[in-house]
Structure 1
Amino acid sequence: MASITVHCPRCNSGRVYRHGKTPAGHVRYRCPTCPHVFQLTYTYEARKPGVKDKIVDMAFNGAGVRDTARVLKIGINTVLRAPKKLTPRQVTTEKVVLDDVALICELDEQWAYVGNKHPRHWLWYAFDTKRKRVVAYTFGPRNDETCRRLLSLLSPFQIGFITSDDWGSYARKLPSEIHLSGKIFTQRIERNNLTRRTRIKRLARKTICFSRSVELHKKVIGAFIARYHFN
C-alpha cells in the first residue's frame, strides 16, 4: 500500500495530521507548526492553489473575462475579483541613470474604451528608449492637467531629453530646450503601444471586450506595466 507525505503549503512542514472532513467529503489537514488548516482536493476550481495567478496571467496574454472563465472552469465574478486586488504603483522606485548619461524619454497617450464605446479613457506614460521600459504613467483626460501630472512623476529622474508627438499639451508644458516633437521621434513608444494592445484584450480597438469600470481598467494596465517594466 503506497503512502504520500503531506506537506503544509504555508510552512512546508511534514508534521501534519488529518483534521476531519468538509461537508463535501474532502479530507482536511492541520499543521501544528503554523497552525494552518488546508485541503488537497476542492469542489470548486477557484479554490485550488494558483488559480488567482492564472487569472492575472491570462489577462496579460490576450484573454478576456469570459475566455478565462471558460478555460479555468470558474465563475465570471471570480475572474473580476482577482484583478481588483492588485495594487500597482505609478512610477518605478528605481531612479536609474546611466553613469553620466541622463534619460531620454518618449511621451505618448493611449486611448481605450471604458464602460461603453462613446467616451475614451487615456493612458499617459513615459518610455525610456535606452532600456525600453516604462518609467512612469498616469490616467486622465487628454488635457494639460494630465500632462502636468505625468511630468511631476518624472521629476525625481534626471531627464536629458524628451520627445513626443505634436499634441499641444507637450509644447505648452515642456521646456523647448529639452523637447523635440514629431511622429518620427516616437517610433519606439508607438511600437510599445502596439505590444500592449496585443497583450491586453481590453485595449483592442475593434472589440466588445473593453473594460466595464475605470477601477478594473487602471489596475489591469497598471499591474501589466509594473510586472513587465518596473520589475
Structure 2
Amino acid sequence: MYAINRKTKQVIDFICGSGSKGNINKIIKTLLKLSPQGIYTDKLNIFTAVIPENLHRTFQYKTNNIERRNHTLRTHLKRLSRKTICYSKSQAMLEACFKLYAWQ
C-alpha cells in the first residue's frame, strides 16, 4: 500500500504488508503531518475509521492516477504477480525492489 501526491505524482510513503488498520494508520499518520487539503481513496470501509471525516473524499475519478500507477507497477514488476517465476521470497527484498522502482 502506498500514497502518492496527485499533483507531483511522487510516492509519499509506502508499506509492504496486509491492508490492516494498523498498516493503513501508519501511512495516514505520515500524510496528516503534511497537512493535506483532502485524502482521496476508494470506498473501502476501513478508510473511514482511520482518516478524519473532514479530509476523506471517495470520488472515483480522483483515484485514477494511483490506479493507473498500480497497473503499470504490476506490469513492470513481475514479482508482484502471483504465478510467475520471479517472486520475492522475503519481504525485505520486495521492499527494496519497490524502493528502487518508486524513487528512481
TM band (smaller chain): 0.7 to 0.9
For 1:221 and 1:184, the matched residues in 2 are separated by 25
For 2:52 and 2:23, the matched residues in 1 are separated by 17
Larger Rg: 1
For residues 167-215 of structure 1, give each alpha carbon's deviation from its aligned partner in whole angstroms, at most 9, with x where no partner exists. 1221111112211125433111000111111221212344232211111
The 1:156/1:177 distance shift into structure 2, 3 A limit, reads: closer
Is 165-174 or 197-206 further displaced after alignment? 197-206
List gaps (5 residues or longer) in structure 1: 1-123
- The answer to whether 1:125 aligns with 2:6 is no
* Mapping 1:104-183, distance limit 5 Å: 124-183=1-60
Work out whether residues 165 and 185 of structure 1, in 8 Å CA contact, stay in contact via their aligned partners in 2. Answer: no
The CA RMSD measured in Å over matched residues stands at 1.7
1:216 to 93, 96, 102: 93
For 2:48 and 2:28, the matched residues in 1 are separated by 13
Q: CA deviation at 1:139?
A: 1.9
Equivalent position SS for 1:187: helix
For 1:208 and 1:223, the matched residues in 2 are separated by 20
List gaps (5 residues or longer) in structure 2: none
Q: CA deviation at 1:226?
A: 2.1
For 1:215 and 1:198, the matched residues in 2 are separated by 21
Name the count of aligned residue pairs.
104
Percent identical residues = 28
* Mapping 1:1-231, distance limit 5 Å: 124-227=1-104
Equivalent position SS for 1:136: strand
For 1:176 and 1:163, the matched residues in 2 are separated by 11
For 2:23 and 2:60, the matched residues in 1 are separated by 20
For 2:41 and 2:99, the matched residues in 1 are separated by 21
For 1:204 and 1:174, the matched residues in 2 are separated by 29
For 1:188 and 1:169, the matched residues in 2 are separated by 21
- Structure with higher helix content: 2
Instruction: Give runs of ≥4 in structure 1 deviating > 6 Å.
Output: none
For 1:139 and 1:186, the matched residues in 2 are separated by 20
Work out whether residues 125 and 137 of structure 1, in 8 Å CA contact, stay in contact via their aligned partners in 2. Answer: yes
Residue identity opposite 1:196 in structure 2? L
Residue identity opposite 2:2 in structure 1? Y
Correspondence for 1:89: none
Equivalent position SS for 2:32: coil
- Structure with higher strand content: 1
